Amino acid sequence: MLLAGALLLLGAPPAGAEEEGWSYQLWNELMSPYCPGRTLADCPSGQAEQLRLWIVDQERQGRPREDVAREIYERFGDVVLAAPRASGFGLAAYLIPLAFFLAGGGLVFLFLRRQTRLREVAVPGGDPPPDPEALRRIDEELSD
């Protein structure tokens, strides 16, 4: 009993999950259409429980995982996807952040380039060479 409680706390799969295979994995990969922001495995809704049982039943009947996942997608749409598809409108979810990242990098590049040019204008030739007479006097003072 203590071991079962410890396994439950550690997030071990339910009893028989090793035997069942893909149905429990699918629960964790699909988002719940009944509890926004939660996976199907985490949703406490009664409807989600029915969907989980249906998935297990489909696996027991020998249906391929891809067919079951496709049927769920056809029934509920993009709501069950953990990440948007990289096509159509969902492609914007990938391209917009990339565009902002590149634009930000370009602005930083231009800012740094401008800053270095301003420094070159302020000191066109760098530091002037030291006066040889002044260096000689410094050496004399230091040797005394």
Tens of pLDDT along 27-60? 888 889 888 888 888 999 899 999 999 999 999 9
pTM of model > 0.95: no
Confidence of residue 13 (pLDDT cuts 50, 70, 90): very low
Nearest one of 25, 32, 45 to 79, comparing CA atoms: 32
Residue 104: what pLDDT?
94
Residue 84: Cβ-neighbour burial (10 angstroms; 0-12, 13-18, 19+): middle
Residue 121: what pLDDT?
58
Confidence of residue 87 (pLDDT cuts 50, 70, 90): low
Instruction: Tell me: pLDDT of 90 over 50.
Output: yes
Residue 5: what pLDDT?
36
Instruction: Tell me: pLDDT of 16 over 80.
Output: no
79-to-39, 51, 69, 131 alpha-carbon distances in Å? 11, 14, 13, 76
Rounded Cα distance between 53 and 51, Å, is: 5
Mean pLDDT of 71-91: 78
What tens digit of pLDDT does each residue of 93-116 get?
A: 778 888 899 999 999 999 998 888
Residue 6: what pLDDT?
35
Residue 21: what pLDDT?
80
Residue type, 35: C
Average pLDDT, the chain: 79
